[in-house]
Structure 1
Amino acid sequence: MWYIIQGIVFVLVFGTALYLFGTAVRQRYLYLKLAAPDPTRFDKPGQRLKSFVVNVLGQRKVLAEPSGLGHFFIFWGFLFLVFGDLDFIVYHILRFHLPWATSPVYLFIEEMFSWFVLVAIIVAAIRRYVLRPMRVEQTFEGGFILFLIGTIVVTYFIATGADMALAGSYGGWYSPGVSLIARWLAPLSKSGLLAISEICFWLHILAISTFLYFIPRSKHMHMIGALFNWYFKKYEPAGKLRKLDLEDESIEEFGVGQIQQFTWKQLLDGYACTECGRCHINCPATLSGKPLSPKHLILKMKEAIVAEGPQLLQQKAAGAETLSTHPVFEGVFTDEEVWACTTCRACEEACPVANEHVQDIIDLRRYLVLTEGKTSPEVTKVFSNLERQSNEWGISKRERAAWVGDLPVKTMEEVEGKAEYLFFVGTAASYDQRNQKIAQAFARILLAAGVDFAILGTEEESDGDSARRLGNEFLYQEFVQRNIEIFQTYGVKKIITTDPHAFNTFKNEYPDFGFEAEVYHSTQFAAKLIQEGKLKPTHRIEKRITYHDSCYLGRYNDIYDAPRFILEAIPGLELVEMERSRNKSMCCGAGGGGMFKEEGGASRINVMRAKQALDTGAEVVGTACPYCMTMLIDGTKANGAEERLETFDVIELLAQSIA
């Protein structure tokens, strides 16, 4: 009779927990259906399945940091505990074991992973409440979840040990921990052992039931969200932003001004977020004291859709043609945090659940710029300069080719479009006096290697990157159409540029507008010329150099080796790496229009990055981006070290070595 009552109580308790779990998950799924569509997430099923296996089951991205090892054991420990719990529950309700649960091999694996989970929980608690690293917040919820997981494991061990002691049959090599507990409990009476077994069983069930209730209502929604987030991750180029349809006259608002205007995938990111803080401690805006945290941005999206979801569902049920809710810039996001982003993608690179922060920021900027018409004075000036003179500084277009000087460089007009390569110089290398030296050095390299190239000269327009990253999609698409028209006029099929921003938009974004070409960054092209024997660095440069990875070259386009190959090919140069290099490199602060905005916060990003270069003891910091060049020179001066640390583009050093 007792077992019948026990079974009924179990069904009521566990059934209620499952119902509450399922109701909450379904509700959050319905919230996603309210969001904007994103049809790009359903292609490449094989690649998506592989990503799921590698990153969810294999936990590859989680293990990118040492702290991820604990999560790995918790994840796999829980998978084994699920099977173990099935037998645990069946045995305590029906008094028989499931077939697999008596296998010594299974029992050993289950116990080992259970111990791993317990140790990982203890380490996590010490880390969260004793060591307190910057990225981890000491919340009640976090501690309570650790307590529940610990309770689930400990009650399982004690109840199983009591059952073993009752049976008088102690496990062998395959169950060392539980056997030890059983022997420790063995002197107790039978009634005492039964009481311990039953109390721990019900504490175990209550802990699991409470955990089920909390999963969809806490950060542990990531246990579900991350599964889908990895499958539906972006498989377009990392450096590509979503194109806006500006020809649809029915669209009255551009960008995101209300929470449901995000796509379902953007909102899914909120469900997937583990609140681990990896993005937080890698964001240059956060580190320099600005009012932006990628983690909090994503969490605020989740909180907003959960808060506004019921009202939106009511509107939909009532047959509303257009859903409406509170503006996101009234209580969710602030203008300051949206403008603080440098679009460097350090957050996305660090994220273990494939969240995509940059598109969120750009969509919010698009709303401010295109719908609200709100920009800061310096951003407004940039747009005005671009509109008038096709460059951010507002310098006359007639000066765009002044950098050429006495170099025998031809324009596409002069060669009637018959050059094999277009050298797209870009705005910074055309107008900024320091960066003009990069354009001159690269032109000399191309001439020395016998490359058939030409420039556009005064016909060259802005590539549009700054306008797009600052939220002005209208202006960006104007430049796209102008450039494509020019490229088609001269039959351009191959483009080389020293500017990673131009490189990225030509290579990854212009195809959305019907233009495709072979696009090379100067370091890629120069490395290729060295490999082919068309360039041979011979003059020694006796310097110790550290290399700064441009975000738009590295994290955006995975180009890390070409610049280093060139530096290592130059005799005399000694390359030393900064602590933050390659995909973990820190932004210089210029990206996302940061070059042209006033920078607030406790510190300047470029000053912080220059200090990291100085810490290597190098005499030279190498760059491969004209914007990085400007920012690092300014950062070095701010550190009072302009005489100790010179700044050169990799191309300039190569030109010196072949001269």
Structure 2
Amino acid sequence: MSPIITGLLLTVGVSVFVMTMAGRIGALLAMKPENRLDRIPQRALALLKFGLGQKRMVDPEERTAGLMHVFIFAAFMVLALRTIMMFVMGFSETALEVLTNLQAPFWAEHPGLLLVYKLYLLAKDGVAALAVLGSAYFVWLRGSVKPDRLSPSWEAFLILGFITGLMVTEFMFGGSHMVPREQTMPLATGNFVWWEPVTSVFGMVMRPMGYPVAHALGLAGFWIHLAIILAFLNFLPVGKHFHVITGLPNVFFQRLAPKDDPRTTQSAKLSTPNLEKEEFGAATIKDLTWKQGLDLYSCTECGRCQTHCPTYITGKPLTHKGVNQDLKHWVWDHQMWVEEGRGPSGIVEPLPEIIGSALKAETVWACTSCGWCETACPVFIENVPRLIDMRRYQVQVKAEFPPEIQRVFEGMERQGNPWGLGQDRRDEWAEDLALPTWGDGGGPYEYLFFVGCAGSYDDKQKKVSRALVKILREAGVSFATLSKQEMCNGDSARRMGNEYLYQTLAKTNVETWNAMGVKAVITQCPHCFNTIKNEYPEFGGEYQVINHTQLINQLLKEKRIKLSQVMNQKLTYHDPCYLGRHNGVYDAPREVLQAIPGLEVVEMQRSKREGFCCGAGGGRMWMEEHIGTRINHNRVNEVALTLKHAEDPSTPYPDATDKKKPGMVGDYKEPGGKGVVAVACPFCSTMLNDAVNDTGREQSIKVKDITELVADAMEVRQGAGTVAPGSAVSAKPE
């Protein structure tokens, strides 16, 4: 080989790469600092599981494609060492002789090392062959199937060509060294060795060509391999395959779940800015944190975030893949501006605001914060917090936001609820129930029943509150409410960007509850549940928080309530995003429904982890939908199709994850079957009720909270609810 050519290739290739990376890293370091070096053991475990282990790549909705990606990833990990060997061979004839000739004296002196090397070569051959298979699959997928989630890209085909080229040239190089100078060995066996089976096949094919031709092909394979490696290396920081470099670090630096509860996901908790230090959100690119910048670099446009994204499926101006690409390319196009403050004119000038330069306002406000994008992303890109940071700036600094949420903010500020109804009416729903009030001299009480704004003011949800009281009393659970003292938990304010209002409400609630000695809280709203459980600890609010479906399920298991009323009807269950996807509570609601006699529970295709949003999260409950199909209509269409298919299996039932057009189950326009859609969230209840009415299905589909169904089916014993305060056994979450 040639040390001069090898050195020249390496010097040029690495120098260009370093210059490109210097700009990329410089822009990253110009962004806000953020501590992502806490809980190192947990981060290392996540890196092993999701980075090196590629666990998310083989999620059910993309298992085949994910497996093919695993093949390619494994090949890169294993062949990295082989590539280093090849560069060393380019500099050293001795290394070339030792690494290509296993009959060399060196190996005779080190038989143990020889066995290890043979096993490595066997692994190298296997994963390289699988990588070729994976590349062929992706060429077919992109060229023939053309899935909706994958944008047309010449770059993808170039990279697949690079990958295949690397594998084939390695086989060519190795195979050429299996062709002897003299044709003295039988063709069928002379070139085959167990430790390089695929390379042996290449050697057998090359042998009839003769040594000179085989040697020339091997030499060409060697130099082409090195050239591809260096070309590939320099192409990574300028294209969508930058994740090859940044993906593993991004997994390591991921946002960790707020508590030790393994069901709670990373997306459950937003950051808490220091308002006293005037951290009012993200105005420009430099207001993003370096981790948010690393997220942009790590997006490979795989489109998994789109598969069940409610905004994408219903035609809103938001895809998280698109946001990542728009922001990334803006950074790359204005790298010096971000890093040094010098604008396109060459003089120092302020950076433009993100909204207006890189993104449109309607894009930022479209998100429902359902969390699907973060659940699906193989490299843990944190899309939602970045959009919320942009909202924070728009609300707290510019006062520019959808006009309909002004009254929501005012209602929370003045009356402690988003409807703006009088605080003195907060307990009207329970006027005839004689409920104990925390701090009234009774107790001690085991649970604070946090009714929530919807449970206190919304006419439909008031029925759910009363049904839950009926269940708690029947089971003898010791609880009390705050009556008129209860205030909004602040979830909607935070997710609509009004962080100041959220923190005011959160601090007030925590201070009040801690002074009262509250230790455990029951909620009937997943948004309340998520906020109090995962976000209140930032303000000193450490409580055992249990959702009403978890509590009811536990009461059933302990036989403290009995369901005897038979309900002969079909039912499907809609997973609330903030109960299911954000907090991993999937089983408790289903176990409760299955315990109701006579109910036939049928699952929607988009359920559990892949559940489809109702459209109300992220503060969208209070905003109008002016673009595309209404999200709640799409979901109710699926409800109708599910119930219809349960009645008549011959009804066409398209795949919700169809590669060409995902979400087709939400396009169903027929009346559908009869039955119930069960919910466990007041926002979901409102949205699905509205959609049932809007689509003319009010006679066939009823929306019921799980609590109402349980209360209707429950057998009430005489004397229920007479348990002495504090004497009830704790009901623990599932």
**When the two structures are superposed, what TM-score results if normalisation uses the length of structure 2?**
0.84
Confirm whether residue 642 of structure 1 aligns to residue 698 of structure 2: yes
Pick one of 279, 286, 296 that aligns with 2:312: 286
Confirm whether residue 336 of structure 1 aligns to residue 334 of structure 2: no
Amino acid at match of 1:217: V
Counterparts of residues 562-573 of structure 1 (less than 5 Å): 562-573=588-599
**In structure 1, how many angstroms separate the alpha carbons of the residues matched to 2:511 and 2:88?**
72
Greater mean deviation of Cα atoms: 90-99 or 214-223: 90-99
Counterparts of residues 382-461 of structure 1 (less than 5 Å): 382-412=408-438, 414-415=440-441, 418-461=444-487
Secondary structure at 2:97 match in 1: coil
Following superposition, the deviation at residue 70 of structure 1 comes to 0.7
Amino acid at match of 1:110: K
Residue of structure 2 in register with 1:82 after alignment: 80
How many aligned positions are there?
A: 646
Greater mean deviation of Cα atoms: 468-477 or 98-107: 98-107
Amino acid at match of 1:71: H
**In structure 2, how many angstroms separate the alpha carbons of the residues matched to 1:190 and 1:447?**
89
Following superposition, the deviation at residue 415 of structure 1 comes to 4.4
Residue of structure 1 in register with 2:243 after alignment: 222
Q: 1:428 touches 1:435 (CA, 8 Å); kept in 2?
A: yes
Following superposition, the deviation at residue 160 of structure 1 comes to 2.8
Residue of structure 1 in register with 2:724 after alignment: none
Following superposition, the deviation at residue 244 of structure 1 comes to 2.0
Secondary structure at 1:165 match in 2: coil
Residue of structure 1 in register with 2:31 after alignment: 35
In structure 2, the CA distance between the partners of 1:493 and 1:189, relative to structure 1 (3 Å rule), is closer
Secondary structure at 2:55 match in 1: coil
- Render the CA deviation track for 1:213-250: whole Å, top value 9, x for unaligned: 112222222112111111111124231111122223xx
- Render the CA deviation track for 1:553-573: whole Å, top value 9, x for unaligned: 112211111111211222222
Q: 1:417 touches 1:490 (CA, 8 Å); kept in 2?
A: no
Unpaired stretches in structure 2, ≥5 consecutive residues? 100-106, 108-112, 184-189, 259-265, 343-347, 647-674, 716-734
- Render the CA deviation track for 1:78-121: whole Å, top value 9, x for unaligned: 12222333444545662313366884433332212111111110
Secondary structure at 1:96 match in 2: helix
Amino acid at match of 2:638: Q
Residue of structure 1 in register with 2:71 after alignment: 73
In structure 2, the CA distance between the partners of 1:464 and 1:514, relative to structure 1 (3 Å rule), is same
Confirm whether residue 495 of structure 1 aligns to residue 521 of structure 2: yes
Following superposition, the deviation at residue 363 of structure 1 comes to 0.1
Secondary structure at 1:502 match in 2: helix
In structure 2, the CA distance between the partners of 1:10 and 1:490, relative to structure 1 (3 Å rule), is same
**In structure 2, how many angstroms separate the alpha carbons of the residues matched to 1:345 and 1:651?**
25
Q: 1:461 touches 1:483 (CA, 8 Å); kept in 2?
A: yes
Residue of structure 2 in register with 1:627 after alignment: 683
**In structure 2, how many angstroms separate the alpha carbons of the residues matched to 1:572 and 1:409?**
32
In structure 2, the CA distance between the partners of 1:324 and 1:46, relative to structure 1 (3 Å rule), is same
Following superposition, the deviation at residue 209 of structure 1 comes to 1.4
Pick one of 203, 206, 216 that aligns with 1:195: 216
Residue of structure 2 in register with 1:62 after alignment: 57
**In structure 2, how many angstroms separate the alpha carbons of the residues matched to 1:288 and 1:217?**
32
**In structure 1, how many angstroms separate the alpha carbons of the residues matched to 2:562 and 2:405?**
44
Amino acid at match of 1:42: L
Counterparts of residues 474-489 of structure 1 (less than 5 Å): 474-489=500-515
Q: 1:342 touches 1:593 (CA, 8 Å); kept in 2?
A: yes
Following superposition, the deviation at residue 539 of structure 1 comes to 1.7
How high is the sequence identity, in percent, across the aligned residues?
38
Pick one of 379, 384, 387 that aligns with 1:353: 379
Following superposition, the deviation at residue 280 of structure 1 comes to 2.0
Q: 1:441 touches 1:651 (CA, 8 Å); kept in 2?
A: yes
Amino acid at match of 2:226: I
Following superposition, the deviation at residue 73 of structure 1 comes to 0.5
Secondary structure at 1:136 match in 2: coil
Pick one of 7, 16, 19 that aligns with 1:11: 7
**In structure 2, how many angstroms separate the alpha carbons of the residues matched to 1:125 and 1:204?**
21
Following superposition, the deviation at residue 289 of structure 1 comes to 0.4
**In structure 2, how many angstroms separate the alpha carbons of the residues matched to 1:471 and 1:174?**
60
- Report the aligned-residue RMSD: 2.1
- Render the CA deviation track for 1:278-318: whole Å, top value 9, x for unaligned: 112221111110000111222333223333332343349xx
Counterparts of residues 147-162 of structure 1 (less than 5 Å): 147-162=161-176
Residue of structure 1 in register with 2:272 after alignment: 243
Greater mean deviation of Cα atoms: 151-160 or 435-444: 151-160
Following superposition, the deviation at residue 189 of structure 1 comes to 4.0
In structure 2, the CA distance between the partners of 1:460 and 1:198, relative to structure 1 (3 Å rule), is same
Unpaired stretches in structure 1, ≥5 consecutive residues? 317-321
**In structure 2, how many angstroms separate the alpha carbons of the residues matched to 1:126 and 1:90?**
36
**In structure 1, how many angstroms separate the alpha carbons of the residues matched to 2:297 and 2:225?**
27
**When the two structures are superposed, what TM-score results if normalisation uses the length of structure 1?**
0.93
**In structure 2, how many angstroms separate the alpha carbons of the residues matched to 1:334 and 1:457?**
43
**In structure 2, how many angstroms separate the alpha carbons of the residues matched to 1:46 and 1:24?**
32
